[in-house]
Amino acid sequence: MLLDSLSQSIKKMKQMDIVENAALDAEKKAKNDDDYRTVVKDFSNTVFKLQQVADTMDYSITSGTIQSIEECVEKLEDVVTASVVEADNLASARQQINRKVYPYLAKEWNDYYQKKTKSSLSKLDTLGNLADNPDMIMTIRDDLAGGNEWTGLLLCDDGIHTRLSLLKSAIDKIDELEKNLNLSDEIKGFIEKVTKRRARITDISPAIIEWIQNESLNEKFVILFKG
The 10s digit of each residue's pLDDT in 75-97 is 998 888 767 788 888 899 999 99
pTM attached to this predicted model: 0.76
For the segment 32-58, what is each residue's pLDDT rounded down to a tens digit?
Answer: 889 889 999 999 999 999 999 999 999
Higher confidence at residue 88 or residue 172? 172
How far apart are the C-alpha atoms of 22 and 5, rounded to whole Å? Answer: 26
CA-closest candidate to residue 172, choices 120, 110, 98? 120
pLDDT at residue 73 tops 50: yes
β-sheet bridge partners, residue 84? 81
pLDDT at residue 22 tops 70: no
On the 0-12 / 13-18 / 19+ scale of CB atoms within 10 A, 21 is: exposed
Tell me the DSSP string of 163-189. Answer: HHHHHHHHHHHHHHHHHHTT--HHHHH
Average pLDDT, the chain: 85
Confidence of residue 18 (pLDDT cuts 50, 70, 90): very low
Helices (H), 87-133: 87-96, 102-127
CA-closest candidate to residue 205, choices 184, 187, 224, 185? 187
For the segment 203-215, what is each residue's pLDDT rounded down to a tens digit?
Answer: 999 998 998 888 8
Query: Any idea what DSSP says for residue 102?
Result: H
Between 2-56 and 87-96, two packed helices, what is the crossing angle to 10 degrees? 20
